[in-house]
């Protein structure tokens, strides 16, 4: 760029909800916009003249603060240029001492001779606020979901302790049964939250190999046999279907979530169909598996939301069915982690979830074996 940093600042600062800071080669702030000063809870005159590192904790600013003499400018120039326009996190400390993380990027501004004259640092306040709000809502929802089973467990345990000798054996068994059911619900929620944490922190470990889809589905159906007792299951998996590239445990988790949902959200004595086929997708061979039910449909306006965290439809059948609202979010995350795709189609009666995963053809298995 061959225009002055102050010109850019004057044109952008009036309209930007994000923080804009102009600093010289030594990292000393020469100008900032109102959004940045509000973020720090300081007046602009309290900010200008101080080093960027006084308010922003990131590697670029750290070098500018700790370097001395003639090397100070050089170090700031090198670190800022290396991350030019590259989004990275920095810590901001406001007047009250509260620190929080925001995404930032540094842009070098050149003079007419092509030499670096200053830097503009963009502090993405809007993006940071959205992330913080999402985290706050997540914690609030988790707290609510945890409180519900804990309240039931405490309530029935207190009843047994206070009136145990006055309760007959059937009442005691019923109350203990409720406590166990709610403890199981609590365990499922904690397991789902741990799964979400592992996926979002990129700590999900996968062992990818060729998996026979039919065998995986049969294992899932054996585990869900009790829940499927009142439904008719139809399996349409053709012989000779190529295996899929997947992690065995994660593939079964995907199929368990989809089949379990189909059973939970469709009336008794209705049909749940699991079908699979081999197809070409963009020149690559894939295996497509679908799970269809005859239950309550999903309104079109809610389809984009069903893969969100804690998303549950507001209808009588869903309200009377226990669930954490994390199952489909986890399912989609696992499908994407395995290099696949997932989609949903729904009518007034009946919903179909379809998953596509890479096929492990004999040729590809041989190629991977050689690799």
Closest to 260 in 3D by CA, of 210, 299, 225: 225
Q: What mean pLDDT is predicted for residues 1-12? A: 51
pTM of the model: 0.57
How far, in Å, CA of 238 to CA of 279, rounded? 13
Q: What mean pLDDT is predicted for residues 301-312? A: 76
> What CATH number was assigned to the domain covering residues 5-123?
3.30.450.20
Q: In the block, which residue shows the tokens 């930032």? A: 104
Q: Please say if the pLDDT value at position 11 is more than 70.
A: no
How many helices and strands in the chain, by DSSP H and E? 12, 13
- In this prediction, residue 322 has a pLDDT band, given cuts at 50, 70 and 90, of low
H/E element holding 21?
strand 19-24
How far, in Å, CA of 346 to CA of 254, rounded? 19
Q: What mean pLDDT is predicted for residues 173-197? A: 83
Strand duo 88-93 + 99-110: pairing? antiparallel
Give the domain 208-370 fold: Heat Shock Protein 90 (3.30.565)
Q: In the block, which residue shows the tokens 């800071």? A: 21
Question: Where are the domains positioned within the chain?
Answer: 5-123, 131-200, 208-370
Q: What does the mean pLDDT of the chain come to?
A: 78
Strand, helix or coil for residue 226: coil
How far, in Å, CA of 51 to CA of 61, rounded? 8
The pLDDT > 90 percentage for the chain reads: 23
How far, in Å, CA of 273 to CA of 137, rounded? 36
Strand duo 271-281 + 341-346: pairing? unpaired
Q: How high is the pLDDT of residue 169?
A: 86
Residue that wins the pLDDT comparison between 321 and 293:
293
Q: What are phi and psi of 246, to 5 degrees?
A: -165, 170
What secondary structure letter does DSSP report for 144? Answer: H
How far, in Å, CA of 218 to CA of 222, rounded? 6
Q: Where is average pLDDT lowest: 8-17, 62-71, 86-95?
A: 62-71
Q: Please say if the pLDDT value at position 238 is more than 50.
A: yes
Q: Please say if the pLDDT value at position 79 is more than 70.
A: no
Strand duo 99-110 + 271-281: pairing? unpaired
Domain 131-200 maps to which CATH number in 3.40.50.450, 3.40.50.720, 1.10.240.10, 1.10.287.130?
1.10.287.130
The total of other beta-carbon atoms located within 10 Å of residue 255's CB is: 22
H/E element holding 286?
strand 284-292
Q: What mean pLDDT is predicted for residues 305-309? A: 80
Strand, helix or coil for residue 107: strand
C-beta of residue 296 within 8 angstroms of C-beta of residue 312 = no
Residue that wins the pLDDT comparison between 80 and 315:
315
């Amino acid at each position: 760029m061959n225009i002055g940093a102050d010109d850019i600042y004057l044109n952008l600062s009036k309209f930007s909800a994000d923080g804009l800071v102009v600093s010289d080669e030594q990292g000393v702030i020469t100008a900032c916009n109102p959004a940045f000063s509000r973020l720090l809870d300081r007046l602009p005159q309290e900010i200008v003249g101080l080093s960027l590192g006084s308010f922003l904790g990131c590697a670029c600013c750290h070098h500018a603060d700790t370097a001395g003499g003639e090397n100070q400018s050089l170090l700031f120039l090198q670190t800022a240029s290396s991350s030019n326009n590259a989004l990275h996190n920095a810590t901001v400390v406001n007047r009250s001492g509260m620190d929080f993380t925001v995404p930032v990027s540094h842009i070098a501004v050149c003079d007419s001779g092509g030499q670096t004259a200053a830097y503009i640092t963009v502090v993405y306040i809007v993006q940071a606020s959205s992330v913080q709000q999402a985290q706050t809502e997540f914690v609030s929802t988790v707290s609510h979901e945890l409180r519900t089973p804990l309240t039931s467990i405490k309530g029935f345990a207190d009843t047994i302790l206070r009136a145990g000798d006055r309760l007959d054996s059937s009442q005691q068994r019923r109350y203990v049964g409720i406590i166990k059911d709610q403890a199981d619900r609590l365990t499922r929620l904690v397991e789902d939250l741990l799964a979400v944490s592992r996926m979002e922190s990129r700590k999900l470990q996968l062992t990818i190999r060729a998996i026979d889809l039919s065998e995986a589905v049969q294992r899932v159906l054996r585990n869900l046999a009790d829940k499927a007792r009142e439904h008719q299951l139809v399996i349409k998996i053709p012989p000779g279907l190529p295996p899929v590239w997947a992690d065995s445990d994660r593939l079964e988790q995907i199929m368990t979530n989809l089949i379990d949902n189909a059973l939970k959200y469709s009336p008794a004595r209705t049909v749940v169909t699991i079908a699979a086929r081999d197809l070409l997708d963009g020149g690559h061979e894939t295996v497509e598996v679908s799970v269809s039910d005859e239950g309550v449909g999903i309104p079109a306006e809610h389809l984009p939301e069903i893969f969100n965290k804690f998303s549950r439809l507001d209808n009588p059948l869903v309200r009377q069915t226990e669930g954490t609202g994390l199952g489909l979010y986890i399912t989609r995350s696992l499908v994407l982690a395995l290099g696949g795709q997932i989609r949903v189609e729904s009518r007034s009666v009946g919903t179909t979830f379809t998953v596509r995963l890479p096929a492990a053809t004999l040729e590809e298995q041989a190629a991977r074996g050689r690799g």
